Structure 1
Amino acid sequence: MHNPNLTTVETDVVIIGAGASGLFCAMTAGKRGRKVLVLDHANKAGKKILMSGGGRCNFTNYDIENRHYLSQNPHFCKSALSRYLNWDFIGLVNQHGIAYQEKDNGQLFCENSANDILQMLLNECEQNHVKISLKTQINQITAQADNQGFHITTDKMTVTCQSLVIATGGLSIPTMGATGFGYQVAEQFGHTIVPTSAGLVPFTFTDKLGEAFKTLAGTSLDIIAFNDKASFALPILFTHRGLSGPACLQLSNYWQMGEPIFINLFAQQNMADFLLKHKKSHPKQLIRTVIHNNFDLPKKLVNTLQNFIFDKFSDIELANIKDETLQNIGKTLNAWQLKPSGTEGYRTAEITRGGVDTSHISSKTMQSQLQPNLYFIGEVLDVTGWLGGYNFQWAWASGFVAGEVV
């Protein structure tokens, strides 16, 4: 419905979403002299940037390769990532005098606060005359006749533009205002959505295992978490609800409901061989004693392993356990099969898996192949990065390549 009381604004580019990819696209298009308007329903730009990386914003990684991304089309992300590099963004950060530090595995964080990155993006937008309209609800989007752009009705104004960019993000962290709006726009113009689910998210356990993990809450150790699709040698964290920490968050991107995951708590040691060796050298010892004396594991965790893996043999000396049995116990200790009841869901997920199917999107410009002058960038697309700054790098790169052409 056209409300005659609303002012009409004409602009070159409208970007819906004032997050990482939207702001980056806006400043890039602004640098080309394009007249840009960013619309967002939130009361503040870049809310997820501010909370990311524990408030320090893990803004990119020294090691960016397409293998760090999941998508139904694993090649889709290559073009944008090769045209706007992590080094380009690091250069921008340096130019703005933002102090940063490297943490594990090439991850780069702000030394002070994520607000440094947000202010940098907002300053760049301001310098390039980008207008940002917050607390703005979008009621309707229609394509104008002869593909001459779009007409957008909001609760504050009506806008006509030549190019429309959807940078609305995914469904993760709804308390930050995440919605499925971008997917609705995609479907309106004929795009299909790869089914979405929570990614980079802790696993939950509701059974006896969950009870055991509760008693271990707060314990963190280096392990290998794996399944038949991926493997991560990183820290794990036991929580009141199950398992978290980088190893589990990474693995969650490769997990589907109902599937098992495997945990190797003894990454440096073949436990089958280890137990057999100890049977010869310390025949009178118990399995738990051997583990306790040789590995730096909390006593509670050793007890949990005993309860779930070698309960029948808890008080039997090594000498009285068959070699084959010890080998099987050892193999299980190196690949403890666990079946999560689920994940903590979008509430705590750092990213949304799935999204707008990339098969009808240009990988070079992010333009829709079904609707001229319509673009999709960032997390709304079916491109999901690993933990460690990869999703931000995708936001910058996809925002950049669209910003160069809108």
Structure 2
Amino acid sequence: MSHAPGNAHYDLVVLGAGASGLMCAAVAGARGLRVLVLEKTRQAGRKILLSGGGRCNFTNRDVGPEHYLCRNPHFVKSALSRYTPWDFLALVERHGIPYHEREHGRLFCDRSARDIVRMLLAECADAGVEIRTRAPAVEVHAGPPHQVVTPAGMVTCDALAVATGGCSFPTTGTTGFGLDLARQLGLPVQPPRPGLVPLTLEGRALERIRDLSGIALKATVRVGDHAFTENLLFTHRGLSGPAVLQASSYWRPGEPVAIDLFPGMDLEALLDAQRRTHPRRMLQTLLARHLTRRVARCWCSHWVEDQPLGQMGQAAVRQVVSACQSWTVWPAGTEGYGAAEVTVGGVDTDAVSSKTLACHDHPGIHFIGETLDVTGQLGGYNFQWAWASGHAAGSLVGA
């Protein structure tokens, strides 16, 4: 990677050496453009390295617009249709990277996320892309030509791709720079907030479940019209796990979250049957078979009365069903950007072309990846948006 001083002109300068930035640079470089990537930290692809527990859930076999949050739900269709999961898989396979599939079509590296970073850097190297680390953009002045001021000097370019991410994972260097730049350019920005993030509880709501920290259960977590059935994890601060992370992207302060701890089951029918066949069995014993003993004990301490099943009347049955399948919590908030996997919100997609990702008012400036108001659900969708948006910009920049 080059650390040469600035004062040079490029066809394209990419701000940020993350997933979308490296993809954009490699594609543009392969077209013969002179490309420079500026990365403020000491290492390219730092967020990639942290993803998927270090294994990088790099895409999903089932990708469609329904897996994304965006004020304009149709915006993602163009880029996603032109660079699909199969296109990225072909790249992975060409580099000999072993991978495997997990539940819900999620694809992970067998070895390490480093394989994906090495692949992207190799693609950039083959395309003649110059990458400078420890090279933050201090100022950006829209052109043409566009001017980017760095500590080492100024560079100019015909096109600029902003791939600086959102506000999540601040330890990787994200600061919301791209959103600040968008505002500087007069572009509308949908208010950013943490997404795919644990929810926190306070007061009595937290005290009731404090002893359950570390227990995971399959559950359906619902926020408004959006419901997700995966594991729920009790934490010392509230609730986490895939089902909660998914729901968190749709949650707004002041809204309730409804939780079904017996997803896909007719709990009332189960209780009625057990009342007849095992009238002496205690309710807590039955709940423990599905919820673990600690959770069952907690529920019988705070929400329902433990008693022999044969002594339960219909009102008691309905109370159990409500407590277990319509458990409602009112989160106090989230664990914030430090624990969030993504940023919800960003540059309003009405301000950019869905084909080229370039600003309508500044045709040579492209916003890609997480800088845009496009947020994927958990499961490789955010990476696929990074690949697709980076490829769309890199394919058409300067055309």
Q: Where on the TM-score scale, by shorter chain, does this alignment land: which range?
A: over 0.9
- SS of the residue aligned with 2:219? strand
Letter in 1 for 2:392: V
Q: How many residues of Structure 1 are paired with residues of Structure 2 in the alignment?
A: 393
- Measured after TM superposition, the shift of residue 282 of structure 1 is 3.6
1:79-111 CA-to-partner distances (Å, cap 9, x unmatched) read: 000000000000000000001111111111111
Structure 1: distance between partners of 2:70 and 2:368:
14
Task: Give the fraction of aligned pairs with identical amino acids, expressed as a percent.
Answer: 46
Q: Give the whole-Å Cα distance in 2 for the aligned partners of 1:396 and 1:137.
A: 22
State the TM-score, normalized to the length of structure 2.
Answer: 0.95
Q: Is the 8 A contact 2:208 2:302 kept in 1?
A: no
Q: Which residue of 1 aligns with 2:56?
A: 57
Measure the CA separation in 2 of the matches of 1:154 and 1:228. Answer: 45
In the TM superposition, what are the counterparts of 1:161-200 in structure 2 within 5 Å? 161-200=157-196
Output one character per residue of 1:8-64: Cα deviation in whole Å (capped at 9) or x when no partner. Answer: 111110110110000000000000000000112111111000010001111001111
- Indicate the residue corresponding to 1:3 in structure 2: none
Q: Which residue of 2 aligns with 1:351?
A: 342
* 2:94 corresponding residue in structure 1: 95
In structure 2, C-alpha distance between the alignment counterparts of 1:7 and 1:258, rounded to whole Å: 49
The CA distance in 2 between the partners of 1:132 and 1:120, in whole Å, is 14
Any stretches of 5+ residues in structure 1 without a counterpart?
Answer: 1-5
SS in structure 1 at match of 2:252: coil
Instruction: Supply the distance in 2 between the matched residues of 1:56 and 1:7 (Cα, whole angstroms).
Output: 35
Distance in 1 (alpha carbons) for counterparts of 2:363 and 2:229: 44
Q: Aligned match of 2:302 in 294, 304, 308?
A: 308
Amino acid across the alignment from 2:193: S
Q: Is the 8 A contact 1:263 1:336 kept in 2?
A: yes
Tell me which amino acid in the other structure corresponds to 2:18.
Answer: G
Q: How far off is 1:274 after superposition? A: 2.5
Asked if structure 2 preserves the Cα contact closer than 8 Å seen for 1:273 and 1:330, the reply is: no
Distance between the aligned counterparts of 1:83 and 1:290, measured in 2? 52
Q: Secondary structure at the match of 2:154?
A: strand
Cα offsets for 1:214-256 (capped at 9, x unmatched): 3222212222111222111111122222211111111111111
Q: 1:201 and 2:201 equivalent?
A: no
Give runs of aligned pairs for residues 203-352 of structure 1, distance below 5 A: 203-292=199-288, 295-310=289-304, 313-314=305-306, 316-352=307-343
Residue aligned with 2:159, SS: strand
Please provide the CA RMSD for this pair: 1.5
Q: Please give the alpha-carbon distance, in whole angstroms, between the structure 1 residues aligned to 2:301 and 2:333.
A: 23
Q: Give the conservation status (yes or no) of the 8 Å contact 1:15–1:167.
A: yes
Q: Give the structure 2 partner of residue 360 of structure 1.
A: 351
Q: Are 2:369 and 1:378 equivalent residues in the alignment?
A: yes
Structure 1 residue 139: deviation in Å?
Answer: 2.4
Which of 368, 385, 388 aligns to 1:394? It is: 385
* CA–CA separation in structure 2 for the residues paired with 1:319 and 1:405: 70
Matches within 5 A, 1:34-183: 34-144=33-143, 148-183=144-179
Range 89-98 or range 276-285, more displaced: 276-285
Displacement, 1:212? 3.8
Query: Structure 2 counterpart of 1:99, which letter?
Result: P
Q: CA deviation at 1:203?
A: 1.2
CA contact (8 A) 1:271 1:331 kept: no
The answer to whether the Cα contact below 8 Å between 1:140 and 1:154 also exists between their aligned partners in 2 is yes
5+ residue gaps in structure 2? Answer: none
Deviation, structure 1 residue 284 = 4.0
